[in-house]
Structure 1
Amino acid sequence: MDAGAVEGVVARGLAARIEALFTAVRRPDRGQYTNEEVARACREASGESFSTTYLWQLRTGRRDNPTKRHLEALARFFEVPPAYFFDGCQGARIAGELALLGALRDAGVRSLALRAVALSPEGLDTVGELVEVIARRDAARRRPPV
């Protein structure tokens, strides 16, 4: 891969990670943060220029070379370790936790999870098996006919 291609992959990865933060981490009223809210907080935290447009460019991959301080300010705002942006393994682990957080925001998933807390290990295994069967069935229904 040439340097330009590597930069493109890195940019899409960074944009996807930032977008995942916006999707999973919500305001207390459960609404999504706006670019303006996040940019303002990052500006105040870092003491550096951090415009709404710049944040939009990072989110969409149009800018791909933020400073360490910008990424640290984003990490601080969204309450994730800065390694989320730099460390592939830790970033993947945190991304999984963010996906779980997003799923738990759904009332049905949250209700099921709360009820499952009281199940025995055997009961949890059974529920897990049922979920797998239903997920495969749903996936098969969504596939276009061949």
Structure 2
Amino acid sequence: MAEAPTLAETIEKLFQTHTTPAGRELSLRHVANWCAKWLRERGFAKSFSYEYLRQLRNGEATNPTKGHLEALAAFFDVDPVIFYGSEKAQQIQEDLDFALMLKAHGVRSLAMRATGLTPANRAKVQKQISTLLRQQAADHDGD
């Protein structure tokens, strides 16, 4: 099993995979305010400030309470287990990595469009992509 990411790495990945509807990064202040409200609504006497979230995200603070982690998980709509080293946490991390890959490489729209194809046509697209990848690798090896 791969080494579990740090708390700061996990929080950073959550910020990278969750953006505003316009595609912008969520503000620390917005997330912290939401988490503080979530904690208050559940009777937790804990605060959740912008500065504390900044410290967690940068790795300056490394020992949050269970309530803080549950609030972050609720905001990002993930299972709180993501913050603890476990097999399920690893699967969630892999799902986030996959989401980042789709986002970074701009293939999401391609995948969405492919859902409208018949199974036979999707197989043709997959074959064409494999051919293009082989050609690209050969071109790269020839450089």
- TM-score, length of structure 2 as denominator length: 0.74
Gaps of 5+ in 2: 41-45
CA distance in 1, matches of 2:129, 2:80: 33
**Aligned residue runs from structure 1 range 58-77, under 5 A:** 58-77=56-75
Deviations 1:89-122 (A, max 9, x none): 2222112222333344468412321243324374
How many matched pairs? 132
Aligned to 1:25: 18
- Corresponding position of 1:114: 112
Question: What letter is aligned with 1:46?
Answer: L
SS in 1 for 2:107: helix
The alignment status of 1:126 with 2:130, answered yes or no, reads: no
Q: Does 1:43 align with 2:36?
A: yes
Q: What secondary structure is seen at the aligned counterpart in 2 of 1:37?
A: helix
Corresponding residue number in structure 2 for 1:91: 89
- Unaligned runs of 5+ residues in structure 1 are 1-8, 141-146
Percent sequence identity is 35
**Cα distance, 1:102–1:44 mapped onto 2, change above 3 Å:** same
The Cα offsets for residues 40-83 of structure 1, whole Å up to 9 and x where unpaired, read as: 00000012211111101100111110000000000000000111
Q: Cα distance 1:74–1:126, how it changes in 2: closer, same or farther (>3 A)?
A: same
* Equivalent residue number for residue 143 of structure 1: none
Separation in 2, partners of 1:35, 1:25: 12
Deviates more, 1:81-90 or 1:54-63: 81-90
Residues 139, 66 of structure 1: alpha-carbon distance in 2 compared, 3 angstrom cutoff: farther
Structure 1 length-normalised TM: 0.73
